[in-house]
Amino acid sequence: MKMKVKNNNINRGAACISIIFALLFFTLMARFVYIQGTGKVDGVVLAALAEEKYTKQRTIEANRGTVYDRNGNPIAEDTSSYTVVAILDKDLTVDEDNPQHVVDPEETARKLSPLLNMDENEMYKILTKPERKQVEFGTFGRDISTALKQEIEALELPGIAFRRESKRYYPNGTFASHVVGYAQMVTDPKTKETETIGKMGIEKSLDKYLREKDGYMKFQSDRKGYKLPDAKEQIVAPDNGSDVYLTIDQTIQTFLEDAMNTTMKEYEPEKIIGVVANPKTGEILAMSSRPSFDPNVRNIQNYLNDVISYPFEPGSTMKIFTLAAAIEEGVYNGNATFASGSYTAGGETIRDHNRRGWGTITYDEGVLKSSNVAFAKIANEQLGTDKLLEYLGRFGLDRPTGIDLAGEVQNTINFKWEIDRVSTAFGQASSVTPIQQIQAATAIANGGKMMKPYVVDKIVDPDTDKTVVDHKPQVAGQPVSAETTKKVLNLLRQVVTDGTGKAYDLEGYQVAGKTGTAQIPSPHGGYLTGRGNFLYSFLGMAPMDDPKLIVYVAVEKPKLKDTDIGHEPVVMVFNHVMKNSLQYLNIQPIEQKTENNVNVDKEVEVASYVGKSIEEAKSSIDKLQLKATVIGKGKNIIAQSPVQGEKILPNEQVILLTDQEATLPDMTNWSIRDVMRVADLTNIKVSYSGNGYVVQQSLEPGAIIKDGDTLSVKLERPYSPQKETTEEPVVEENSEKEQEGN
């Protein structure tokens, strides 16, 4: 009986266990079917979880578009920078002979701190922070260059590593800064992602073209993150930003920047404004102002581009357009006479800049002497102020030019009162911007056709090489005829040779232009008085017969020397920029004559020497009475400057580049033009200071030249004694209108 009870218990136990296992089995099967059908566990999609865990994504960085000058030289570009990182985690060192962490914090701080300009004790504290596996050095260790990275690597300090990053870089520093502007990294506070955004100038206005979009690569990996064999990749290519090509010429812009720097140092004016334009197309070749800034450090004092955002009473440069209007209307008679000194209009007295005048003179003399009275009478009695207003519109002086730069402002034409209408004729009462004067001057220099100014040449997609935007020269109007412009240019040439513009007469080049000395409105009413409290300017074109360049320079409130008249700071900028730019553009000076009117210098046409041996090329060059300068250690010529077909004067240099290691020549006594020729051939960057000829160079003669090297040269003029003269200095015009009896 007992045995039977035991068996029954065993059977019942086995049955219970079978039922339990059956329930578990069916539960698991139901769970499996559920998971198989829904793909979810506790509301979590398993496929998504697996995707997240075993699918890796790596960013493929895109580049922001590069801003180039007209010749393809980068002005703003993305470049690599590095952050210094110190590894403190000892566990990362597997081989004691090859340590991967900072072994000696004291030695590391002693050697590294001078290179990062950091206090040694402060660095030591960072390197000995407890429970830290990795540290950085704040701003001292960020944004370091490749050159500095290589210096640090040469120290072979254990545990010192680098993190590569990308930043916006402006290789020329203070260079057309208000035109180019700047872009900077911005971090999204929500996503913590960073992107480069334009904040000023072209960088801001063309941000939608310049901005990049990173790509990425997805792949299947094991749990350690390694890519699985034969795993499929999903690649989304990066979308690089479009490249912007400006009309700015790096060489001409450098001429302008350097001249402005020299003038700022010597005269400390409140403002300098400079523009160089091609009158045939409206292209802006150079544009700058002071105070300026370096976009790499953003030391900005003035966020406005004064060339387009600073309207002011221009002074006597406005007389160019009043004169052109009078000639076009047939009311100007240069041989007619008038009484200079003073003129009454609207119950107020307009005076000439020397207050006494010059007695009875012709209107042509009035132009040369910059007589306010002459132009007041032309506007009020001959042309008529209503017709003058019409021509202000024809010359575009009553509205913005529409230049492709953000921030251009509206000027003010005051024509309510008679005195204001008459005063506008000689540059007071009404305001204009420098860019409006440039646009109006293109009509005078371009046979009557006025060209709209622009700075963006084209925008190109670097991925497809497709031109996205292509700007072409645009005629903005034809205010006067070609015949009128010839007469105006002839008179403006006489202003330079025999009038108020004598200081702007360049040897070998016929400059035509007009001086200006504008009074500055006082915040308390009226105008500022006192030495130097004027805005001095010059608007010049050259060569007169067929102007290739227009240069406008204005200098506000310079600190003049006791012997200065006022135009000296403007001369310092204009003459340097105009002459060097004409030479750079291979615009030959007029032939020099002897006393017997015999040609001294006859142009020589340069032949091609590419592919020839050094000896053969030198022999040919010597026969043409030219000088050969060889760059490099090779035996055959691969490039030359000037190129075949260019014409130069006897004794000028022909630079020959050979097929092996380019070496820097001794440039002592060279002109900046020849220095630039070497730069063009070897792709080096050149900066210079001073005027005249090279007396010092930063790279030693014979040094091997590499792409991207920077050469600095110092220029000085040859010493020559001052010639004695009894001629009194020409007094520049200080436009003045007064109440009668005051």
* Tokens (6 digits) for 390: 């019409």
Q: 355 pLDDT exceeds 70?
A: yes
The CA-based angle 313-318-319, given to 5 degrees, is: 135
> Do residues 430 and 424 touch, judged by C-beta distance below 8 A?
yes
3-state SS class at 740: coil
Pair (550, 640) in one structural domain: no
Q: Within the chain, what is the greatest distance between any pair of CA atoms?
A: 157
Kindly state whether residues 478 and 626 are assigned to the same domain.
no
Residue 299, CA atoms < 13 Å, CB-side half-sphere: 8
Q: 401 falls in which pLDDT band (50, 70, 90)?
A: very high
Lowest-confidence pick of 428-432, 453-457, 553-557, 611-615: 611-615
Of 710, 671, 711, nearest to 690 by C-alpha is 671
Amino acid at 524: H
Q: Do 124 and 268 share a domain, yes or no? A: no
161 with 299, same domain? no
On whether residue 658 sits in a domain, the answer given is: yes
Do 332 and 314 touch, CB atoms closer than 8 A? no
**How far apart, in whole angstroms, are the C-alpha atoms of residue 445 and residue 716?**
33
Q: How far apart are CA 722 and CA 147, in angstroms?
A: 48
Structure tokens at 490: 């002839």
Lowest mean pLDDT among 2-11, 68-77, 232-241, 445-454: 2-11
The b-or-e profile of 574-611 (16+ CB within 10 A means b, else e) is: bbbbbbbbbbbeeebbeeeeeeeeeeebeebebeebee
Cα separation of 377 and 362, whole Å? Answer: 12
Per-residue model confidence as pLDDT tens digits over 154-170: 999 999 999 887 789 99
Contact 646, 605 (CB under 8 A): yes
- Report the C-alpha gap between 280 and 57 in whole angstroms: 53
Burial 639-662 (b: 16+ CB within 10 A, else e): bbbbeeeeebbeebbbbbbbeeeb
Does residue 108 register a pLDDT over 90?
yes
Domain-located, residue 217: yes
> Quick one: pLDDT at residue 74?
95
Q: What is the CATH number of the domain that holds 516?
A: 3.40.710.10
Kindly report the average pLDDT of the chain as a whole number: 86
HSE (side-chain half, CA atoms, 13 Å) at 368: 18
Q: Is residue 590 part of a domain?
A: no
CB 638 within 8 A of CB 658: yes
In which band, very low, low, confident or very high, does the pLDDT at 590 lie, cut at 50, 70 and 90? confident
pLDDT in the model for residue 57: 59
| Whether 434 and 557 share a structural domain | yes
Q: How many CB atoms are located within 10 Å of the residue 465 CB?
A: 8
For residue 43, give its domain range: 26-54
**Two structure tokens written together for 659:** 């097929």
- Considering the chain, what percentage of its residues have pLDDT values greater than 90? 55
CB atoms within 10 A of CB 350: 26
> Which band of pLDDT confidence, cut at 50, 70 and 90, is reported for residue 33?
low
Using DSSP, state whether 115 is helix, strand or coil: helix
| Cβ atoms 198, 207 nearer than 8 A | yes
**Across 135-144, 530-539, 568-577, least confident range:** 135-144
77 and 32 part of one domain: no
Task: For residues 41 and 106, give the distance between their C-alpha atoms in angstroms, rounded to a whole number.
Answer: 55
3-state secondary structure at position 333: coil
Q: Hey, which residues are catalytic here? A: 316
Q: Do the Cβ atoms of 343 and 376 come closer than 8 Å? A: yes
Structural domain ending residue among the three candidates 184, 216, 246: 246
- Structure pTM? 0.71
Lowest mean pLDDT among 16-30, 33-47, 62-76, 715-729: 715-729
Please tell me what DSSP assigns to residue 462: T
| Residue 597: pLDDT band with limits 50, 70, 90 | very low
256 and 242 in a common domain: no
CATH at residue 232: 3.30.70.2110
**One domain, residues 541 and 662:** no
DSSP 139: G
> CB of 545 within 8 A of CB of 510?
yes
Quickly list DSSP for 234-260: EEE--BPPPEEEES--HHHHHHHHHHH
Q: Is residue 422 part of a domain?
A: yes
pLDDT at site 56:
55
Q: For the chain, how many structural domains are there in total? A: 4
Residue 6, domain member (yes or no) = no
- pLDDT, position 723: 33
- In this predicted structure, what is the pLDDT of residue 721? 33
Angle between helices 319-328 and 385-394 (to 10 degrees): 110
pLDDT at res. 714: 84
Same domain, 619 and 534: no
Write out pLDDT tens, residues 532-550. 899 999 999 999 999 999 9
Q: What is the pLDDT of residues 463-508, one digit of tens each?
A: 899 999 999 999 999 999 999 999 999 999 999 999 999 999 998 9
Beta bridge partners of 77: 169
Asked if residue 448 lies in contact with residue 484, where contact means CB atoms within 8 angstroms, the answer is: yes
**% pLDDT > 70, the chain:** 86
Q: Compute CA 93 distance to the chain's CA centroid, rounded to the nearest angstrom.
A: 49
Cβ pair 69, 249 in contact under 8 A = yes
| Same domain? 428 vs 489 | yes
Peptide bond into 642 cis (omega under 30): yes
> What six digits make up the tokens of 382?
């001959």
How far apart, in whole angstroms, are the C-alpha atoms of residue 140 and residue 116?
A: 6
Shared domain for 618 and 571, answered yes or no, is: no
Tell me which residue has tokens 């403006």: 492
Is residue 149 in some structural domain? yes
33-42, 293-302, 515-524, 679-688: least confident range: 33-42
Work out the average pLDDT over 699-720.
Answer: 76
- How high is the pLDDT of residue 482? 97
Encoding tokens for residue 450?
Answer: 């006025």
- Residues 238, 377 share a domain: no
Of 291, 296, 237, which is closest to residue 62 (Cα–Cα)?
237
Choice among 355-359, 486-490, 515-519, 712-716 with the minimum mean pLDDT:
712-716
- In order, the DSSP letters of 261-309 are HHHHHHH--SEEEEEEE-TTT-BEEEEEEES---TTTT--S--S-HHHH
So what's the pLDDT on residue 740? 31
Question: 200-225, pLDDT tens digit by residue?
Answer: 999 999 999 999 887 766 656 555 45
Inter-residue contact 238 to 264 (CB < 8 Å): no
* Per-residue pLDDT reduced to its tens digit, 172-205: 999 999 999 999 888 777 776 778 899 999 999 9
pLDDT tens figures, 626-665: 888 998 888 889 989 888 888 777 778 899 998 888 888 8
> Which CATH number characterizes residue 708's domain?
3.30.10.20
Does residue 46 surpass a pLDDT of 50? no
Give the Cα separation of 317 and 453 in Å (integer). 19
Is residue 312 predicted with pLDDT exceeding 90? yes
With respect to residue 738, please indicate whether it lies within any of the assigned structural domains.
no
| The predicted structure's pLDDT at residue 739 | 32
Which of these, 486, 94, 457, lies nearest to 244 by C-alpha position?
A: 457
Position 596 in a domain: no
For residue range 13-30, list pLDDT tens digits in order. 777 777 887 777 777 777
